[in-house]
Structure 1
Amino acid sequence: MNKTRLEAFSDGVFAIIITIMVLEIKVPHGAEWSALLPLIPVLISYILSFIYVGIYWGNHHHMLHAVKKVTPGIIWGNMFLLFVLSLIPFATAWMGENHFAQNTVIVYAVLLLLAGVSFTTLQVAIERSNPFTPALKTAFGKMRKKGYLSVISYSSAIALAYVNSAISGALFVFVAVVWLIPDRNIEQALKDQESHH
């Protein structure tokens, strides 16, 4: 399989995930502003998940730029990541509808943990099967450190949800902020690599 097919399929799945999430937001029956109030938790969980899916899409795009050879490990690592992310609309709707109740936050945190693990697994698969320049290895190393920080934060969010769901929510926002700006190191390393050829 070539890289273009892998990227096109992945982009399609990301687009479908966002579409499903927005369709979960039910239109209120009344036309008064007060009719929107019950939707606030739903909208908050939607915005959070939209940001997360956007972050994964952006970083996935950057990471695949470095791929020269697609292996079965990369294909299945990618499928595992997409599988986990495809469950995000369910967890988002459940959490929003139930006003961030403890169990819903735990399920959401578990899914984010699995997404973080699967993203790092995909990154390792890419690194193992593609020869990288020292600059690209360094760039991937920095991204992997952020991946480990995310996994630790999500694990903490699962445990802390038993104490207070708001703390878990703060951790979700913290990780999103850490990843919000896509890592330019990979892009720069690839530019340097091309200029030397």
Structure 2
Amino acid sequence: MKTSRMEAFSDGVLAIIITIMVLELKPPTAIDKEAFLTLIPTVVSYMLSFVYVGIYWNNHHHLVHKLSRLNGRVLWSNLHWLFWMSLIPFSTAWVGMNPLEAVPTLFYGVILFLCAVSYLFLQNQVVQCEGIESDLAKEIGFDWKGKVSMLLYVTGVVFAFWIPTVSYILYLVVAIIWFIPDKRIEKTIVQ
């Protein structure tokens, strides 16, 4: 199987995820200030989740373009990652409806954490497929962003019980860390 098929399938799933999220945005029935203010948590949760999906899409694109061949472990790892990604719309909607509640905040953080863990596993399978001495393995290296992200997600999940706002700040910090393009792989991509 060509890597382009896996990338096209993943792109399709991610596009559906974004579509589902935007369909959850319902316009208010009233046209006053209070109606607008009630939308803010839903819109903010959508924006954060949209950025997350975009970051993953971008990094997945770079990762797959470095992959010269596929094996079953890479395919199943990719599906495993897409499974956790597919839960982002549900967790986004729940958080949007209950922005400062502990359980939705915790659940959102757990989903983000599991997306990160499954992506790290996918990345490791791609490196193994390419070989531990490959250019890709050298470019990924220590992956400090991935390790810091895991720590911030876990911290956010713990804070969800006491101060959900801190959790959202930590989830936002992870997005900011990853919003800055990862130069390790990007610099060697040939378009």
Shorter-chain TM range is: over 0.9
* Secondary structure, aligned partner of 2:187: helix
TM-score between the two structures when normalised by the length of structure 1: 0.91
Contact between 1:110 and 1:154, CA under 8 Å: does it hold in 2?
yes
Contact between 1:157 and 1:167, CA under 8 Å: does it hold in 2?
yes
> Sequence identity of aligned pairs in percent?
42
Measure, in 2, the Cα distance between the counterparts of 1:10 and 1:123. 14
* 1:125 alignment counterpart: 125
RMSD between aligned alpha carbons? Answer: 1.7
* 2:2 alignment counterpart: 2
* 1:176 alignment counterpart: 175
Which amino acid is the alignment partner of residue 184 of structure 1? K
Q: Which runs of 5 or more residues in structure 2 are unaligned?
A: none
Which amino acid is the alignment partner of residue 88 of structure 1? I
Which amino acid is the alignment partner of residue 189 of structure 1? T
* Secondary structure, aligned partner of 1:189: coil
Measure, in 1, the Cα distance between the counterparts of 2:100 and 2:141. 34
TM-score between the two structures when normalised by the length of structure 2: 0.94
Measure, in 2, the Cα distance between the counterparts of 1:158 and 1:99. 14
Alignment of 1:26-175 (within 5 A): 26-131=26-131, 135-142=135-142, 144-175=143-174
Greater Cα offset, 104-113 or 182-191: 182-191
Measure, in 1, the Cα distance between the counterparts of 2:134 and 2:74. 21
* Secondary structure, aligned partner of 2:28: coil
Greater Cα offset, 182-191 or 34-43: 182-191
Which amino acid is the alignment partner of residue 93 of structure 2? A
Deviation (angstroms), 1:47: 0.6
Aligned length: 191
Tell me which protein shows more helix as a share of its residues: 1
Greater Cα offset, 123-132 or 44-53: 123-132
Deviation (angstroms), 1:190: 4.4
* Secondary structure, aligned partner of 1:112: helix
